[in-house]
Structure 1
């Protein structure tokens, strides 16, 4: 079985899904049925085959969120190509690296991004450019998107595909440096959609909303593809300029039942002055991942919307995007954890020598299951280091309790070693975010000649609010041990984040590594 099966079900040979059932809906209003989605997919697939895309060829997707994004992805999958889904925020040199590393043959891109491709066009292996020019004009060196629409509605040629054939190349978000391409197979994708559908009982009545960029697994593979597998409807948010108020309005307008919100989105939601004006009566579940959710937000969400279940998830692109989840029923007693393994997924915590650690001991989190990829593209050394005996070594620190619940302690590189003590940033962040003036926070370690590292808190204040370093420090009294308290504070307008909502702490460490201590008193 391959990814194309999700749409094959509307065709006469299967007909297990009615073609007139709504499949996709943009938050701005446009909708496609499953029949329409399959037709557009076949048209695109026929054109791509016609310009020489064969099984195993890489097709780049440098596009904003749209209905067409899904059709292009499924088209590439049906003809055995490999979709290279790229971050539209990347600059020219970053795009050049990915296009060369992947050996992309055809690149489909948005017209507004042509200026970033122009400087590197002669240094990349792309043979054909296709431009999505809904709000602009295609450059002279690219074909218009209309070319894809000219394909026949019935798929002409479909190669024999195996479950182990690759379908998507996702370059990791790069919280620690140069991205690596995680190679997803049809098997990884189908299994991951299946285990979500089984876990959360998705069906034809499910209306799932994705709020992130579709190039990332946190927006397409998380929830969206699982909802399509289940015959439900996917609501797609527009790209850029995220507004939590607008998202809540769409949830009510579209009667969304399930939505994926990154932690920072939940924090913005809960700090809206008019939050209690939203009933969100159709919404049954909020899924969230990327970073651990601080306990303040869990308590506040349960207080305001007791009918909404919060499902915290943990995972990573190459090691199962949702490897662990916390059921809403466990949020009151185990809300500080990421939960337990998903169906068909195993999790263990290992020590420095790779030995499994007992409950209560912090070590590296490892995951195993059918949604764990087997390799990084053209990176044999990184592959051998990360994927060992079927286990993905995540680079994240965590601890399992006696009942099998996993608590995330942070990235190995994020742990702060100060004066002989280990400090886990999430502990400090959980305290600081509770201050009424704080909108967002990230804690990193910066070099110190005496203690090796000290704690630096990077703060984003709520609009119209201000707070001093001393006030924040005093707020930690009675909540944090002395050695865990920040010795430095930095105030920013926003935190640097990846597409999955993770704070890029390596950038903060680099930017503030020479920071001098402010005069704060303990």
Structure 2
């Protein structure tokens, strides 16, 4: 506890001025995200809070405009504590303003994936009966098609009512707003199935353990610039935003991730920290490694980090890579530091303080204690979204070694049984990406009449037409078991990604044929 108190002092929270400022901010804003923004706006008013594709805002400007929006929403649309608000926006400052404003008003905020389809969205609005939806312009047709008849406000529209216009509305009394302990609901990524919601209420002390782990292991309190390349609507992005706001750091946002543009942004502004998923790192590293040298902390999460990428990052950029594992329900669960990754490039690290991981047998559900035996990952922690003291199954498979390090074996629903053998696609992915000319790989299971299921690999090479399926299988034959050999190999120009940056497994699963692709062959 002493170390955690020292951390709060470093963050200016428990200094005399900081404590006074925090109390004043909570009195003015309630216990919510706006209290964090108000805290930093008072301590660091002229610091740049956010830079997006449209420009920059100081902490004082972001705070005032967020309060203006909250006042307008409460005055014109009767927003109040307990109301349900859906935010469907890409990464930009208007999303942040909406998030802070609705939190200030005590609303329950649902952060929806901007690629949500009609069936999923229709089910969500039927289930949750949203009082208000704030959305990007391209979402308007989806609202109409789903028949949403409630209040919908575009984030940006110069010709009518919008969040953008409300940001500059003055004269309404923010002090008349009734605060409430609203929840923030994030969704699972939905990369292989439907989205699921996980709600939690803002609480500095409930999240002190994960906050302490992030700030100390990653030493984030040393840095003043963070590029959130992952969507803010994802739990990983939301956590980073909250920490950056508390530290008074500058957050960089882009509506869409493009490897070349992202590398240029990092180099131009000498950004120190980036949060991303492995494929984002891979594409930047292999195209523009020299532009990433200014980075001091690279935080990868949300998907499997392959050993070759770990090694290449260390070789080209130094010991700057951290591997985080978390869930929508519990947030951050484990952290692998550069030292941990030097111990084993495929580890997800060790559980953070206060969190318990239990491996469960895939058949019996009983605890697995043996080392290197794969089981279902289940977690328990005080800050989980559904904290009833029970283990929460993550949907992932994994194992641990004698030193206490944990490893992922992929999603439970991605494991296949081929000829009676349990086969994990991630193991084949790790093997394939060791090939010197392969830059990206995704492996999925497909039906097979003889063995029940086999593996299918989607490959991106650094040099088009430089490798055939037969050559790759011959290379693999000395490195993997026979039951791991892919039945089909498809060469692609690029692995399709979800908006979060993960491989789009839904799309790839629909590609049931292995016809010759533009830059390769089966």
**Is this a same-fold pair by TM over 0.5?**
yes
1:336 aligns with 2:352: no
Deviations 1:459-500 (A, max 9, x none): 234464443210211221321122211121123444344443
1:368 aligns with 2:417: no
Alignment partner, residue 152 of structure 2: 129
Alignment partner, residue 318 of structure 1: 329
> 2:285 is matched with which residue: 263, 267, 270?
270
> 1:290 is matched with which residue: 265, 280, 302?
302
Cα distance, 1:328 vs. partner?
Answer: 0.8
Distance 1:66 1:279, change over 3 A: closer
Alignment partner, residue 380 of structure 1: none
How does the TM-score come out when normalised to structure 2? Answer: 0.85
How does the TM-score come out when normalised to structure 1? Answer: 0.85
Alignment partner, residue 229 of structure 1: 246
Deviations 1:326-371 (A, max 9, x none): 0111211122111111243222212244432113321111122244
Which is richer in helix?
2
Q: Distance in 1 between matches of 2:270 and 2:353?
A: 28
Alignment partner, residue 450 of structure 1: 450
1:41 aligns with 2:66: yes
The answer to whether the Cα contact below 8 Å between 1:99 and 1:125 also exists between their aligned partners in 2 is no
> 2:199 is matched with which residue: 173, 177, 183?
183
Deviations 1:144-181 (A, max 9, x none): 741453255863234454xxx44222232223322222
1:3 aligns with 2:13: no
Alignment partner, residue 32 of structure 1: 57
Q: Distance in 2 between matches of 1:200 and 1:436?
A: 31
Distance 1:496 1:205, change over 3 A: closer
Cα distance, 1:410 vs. partner?
Answer: 0.6
> 1:167 is matched with which residue: 183, 204, 207?
183
Alignment partner, residue 346 of structure 1: 356
Distance 1:489 1:25, change over 3 A: same
Cα distance, 1:41 vs. partner?
Answer: 1.3
Q: Where does structure 2 lack aligned partners over 5 or more consecutive residues?
A: 1-30, 516-522
Matches within 5 A, 1:26-425: 26=52, 28=53, 30-50=55-75, 51-120=77-146, 123-124=147-148, 126=150, 128-134=151-157, 145-152=164-171, 155-161=174-180, 165-187=181-203, 191=208, 193=211, 195-203=213-221, 205-221=223-239, 223-236=240-253, 238-240=254-256, 242-272=257-287, 275=289, 277-278=290-291, 280-281=293-294, 283-306=295-318, 308-320=319-331, 322-351=332-361, 352-358=363-369, 359-374=371-386, 389-425=389-425
Matched residue pairs, number? Answer: 481
Deviations 1:3-55 (A, max 9, x none): 222023157xxx4x2212222122x4722121111111111111121121111
Deviations 1:194-229 (A, max 9, x none): 5523443323743111012222223222x2221211
Q: CA RMSD in A?
A: 2.7
Q: Distance in 2 between matches of 1:501 and 1:46?
A: 35
Q: Distance in 2 between matches of 1:269 and 1:452?
A: 38
